Amino acid sequence: MFSHVPPYEGDPILSLMEAFQADPRPHKVSLSIGVYFDGEGRLPVLPSVRQAETALSRDIGARPYLPIEGIADFRAAVQRLLFGAGHEAVASGRIATLQTLGGSGGLKVGADFLRRYFPGAGVWVSDPTWDNHRAIFEGAGLEARSYPYYDPATGGLCFDRMLASLDVLPRRSIVLLHASCHNPTGVDLSKTQWQALIPVLRERELIPFVDIAYQGFGDGLDEDAFALRALADAGIQFFAANSFSKNFSMYGERCGGLSVVCSDRAAADTVLGQLKATVRRNYSTPPTHGARVISRVLNDPALFALWRDETAAMRQRIRAMRERLLAVLDEKFQGRRDFGYLVRQRGMFSYTGLDEAQVARLRDDHAVYLVRSGRMCLSGLTGANVDHVAQSMAAVLA
Ligand code: PLP
Ligand code: TYF
């Protein structure tokens, strides 16, 4: 009966993780999957999360179905975190927010909604982007194409080409944007560039869909949400999918949100209603545990302050690793090659510019695992392995 079903090739990043786990070399280093590891190379359990769970475990109570849109306190906290507590769009009730199954769930619910109510619209994603962006939108029945983004010549952004390309899109096209800590390149728009993008979005009547999966890993919780706030300030109506997987180190709990910024409260109510219908058709209602924990942390001033510090510590650790890697490489190459991109790029990832053959040599000869594209996840670096990684990079680049 299933002879026509082709085998699944597997997710390339997860396949790499399996190869890494099977690698017997003791000095092996995983810089592939986009997950935050601490200075000991472990997946952290944040003290804020542990404290919230301990408090919750005392009165865990019954587990009814949640409302389709999720826990009310969680949703309110998402809005404050993304847009800022005092933001006019939050206060006026013109944002429709649901609890979703991770950032991926937010993207999928948003994509289904857009497919139904903007049936002719295609989606444009950055070149390159997270592989699953294309897969999720195509899976929802939208056509996905890309706009210029990363410039291999500079290790930065080709903003002029990006803008020119968006400026000729059909009206009501969907534009997927990374708020900060771009995956896979680490290359973000500056504040000035966001401000320059806004008139193009407005004049072309484009529908921005902002993905914010690494809030706190770039420059700070508020700083990393700059794009969302700038768009909302400018009166742009848009979608935002946020993930708590990384900044709470709660990957398996599948916590995130989808927020749609509308013109007014009435529109937001209507949009929320149809988003609920979309969820109902997909998985009916979201799960309880992770959202209760996150809601507790975000709504309790002391736990929130603790969590803010924890996100700062994760961010600073990644920065320190970027700087250390740069220092060792600079010393090796004495100006013969520019590695400045390592500290200009933000978040967990850097595009190293290593080609497939060099990535293969890193893995085969040095037990250092990067994604085939040359993407490096900096959070896999520790004080114990950063020098080995730098020496290995130097060896394959020599
Ligand atoms: N968006 C980007 C850019 C990501 O890198 C990821 C996951 O790594 C996600 C969305 C999805 O996050 P989640 O695991 O919460 O679904
Ligand atoms: O880009 C990454 O590495 C993260 C983690 O199937 C990830 O998005 C990778 C693959 C996958 C799920 C999550």
Q: What is the mean pLDDT of residues 231-237?
A: 98
What backbone torsions phi and psi does residue 217 show, to the nearest 5 degrees?
-90, -10
Give the ligand 1 atom nearest the CA of 243: 15
Placement of tokens 């768009």 in the chain: 231
Question: Residue 211 catalytic?
Answer: yes
What's the gap in Å between 35 CA and the centre of ligand 2? 8
Report pLDDT digits (tens) over 3-21.
Answer: 999 999 888 888 899 999 9
3-state secondary structure at position 97: strand
**Whether pLDDT at 60 is above 80:** no
Residue nearest to atom 3 of ligand 2 (CA): 34
What's the gap in Å between 132 CA and the centre of ligand 2? 8
Q: What is the mean pLDDT of residues 243-267?
A: 98
Catalytic residue (choose from 108, 112, 194, 211): 211
Question: CATH fold of 65-299, please?
Answer: Aspartate Aminotransferase; domain 2 (3.40.640)
Q: Is 245 close to ligand 1, i.e. is its CB under 6 Å away?
A: yes
Q: Does this chain's domain 12-45+314-397 share its CATH topology with 65-299?
A: no
**In terms of C-beta density within 10 A (0-12 exposed, 13-18 middle, 19 or more buried), how is residue 204 classed?**
middle
Give the ligand 1 atom nearest the CA of 255: 15
Q: What is the mean pLDDT of residues 127-145?
A: 97
Q: Is 255 close to ligand 1, i.e. is its CB under 6 Å away?
A: no
Distance CA 180, CA 186 (A): 8
- Core vs surface per residue 129-138: b (16+ CB within 10 A) or e: bbebbbebbe
Q: What is the mean pLDDT of residues 22-47?
A: 96
Give the ligand 2 atom nearest the CA of 371: 3
Residues in contact with 371: Cβ distance below 8 Å, sequence separation at least 6, in sequence order: 12, 13, 16, 32, 184, 359, 377
Placement of tokens 């996150």 in the chain: 294
Placement of tokens 């099977």 in the chain: 22
Q: Is 208 close to ligand 1, i.e. is its CB under 6 Å away?
A: no
What's the gap in Å between 373 CA and the centre of ligand 2? 14
Residue nearest to atom 8 of ligand 2 (CA): 34
Q: Is 103 close to ligand 1, i.e. is its CB under 6 Å away?
A: yes
Residue nearest to atom 15 of ligand 1 (CA): 102
* The three-state (H, E, C) secondary structure of 10-51, written as one string: CCHHHHHHHHHHHCCCCCCEECCCCCCCCCCCCCCCCHHHHH
Question: Residue 130 catalytic?
Answer: yes
- Contact assessment for residue 226 and residue 194, using Cβ atoms and an 8 Å cutoff: yes
Give the ligand 2 atom nearest the CA of 33: 3
Placement of tokens 């997860």 in the chain: 14
The enclosing H or E element of 332 equals helix 301-333
Q: What is the mean pLDDT of residues 326-345?
A: 93
Instruction: Report domain 12-45+314-397's class.
Output: alpha beta
3-state secondary structure at position 241: strand
Q: Which of these ranges, 53-62, 126-135, 329-338, has the smallest mean pLDDT? A: 53-62
Return the number of other C-beta atoms located less than 10 Å from residue 165's C-beta.
19
Mutate to test the pocket of ligand 1, among 243, 255, 349 (most ligand atoms within 8 A of CB): 243
Predicted model pTM: 0.97
What's the gap in Å between 381 CA and the centre of ligand 2? 18
Catalytic residue (choose from 108, 112, 124, 130): 130
Q: What is the number of the ligand closest to the CA of 34?
A: 2
Q: What is the number of the ligand closest to the CA of 13?
A: 2
**Whether pLDDT at 62 is above 90:** no
Give me the pLDDT at residue 59, please.
79
Ligand 2 pocket by Cβ (under 6 Å): 11, 13-14, 33-34, 130, 183
Report pLDDT digits (tens) over 214-224.
Answer: 999 999 999 99
Share of the chain above pLDDT 70, in %: 100
In the chain, domain spans: 12-45+314-397, 65-299
Give the ligand 2 atom nearest the CA of 35: 5
Name the band, by pLDDT with cuts 50, 70 and 90, for residue 58. Answer: confident
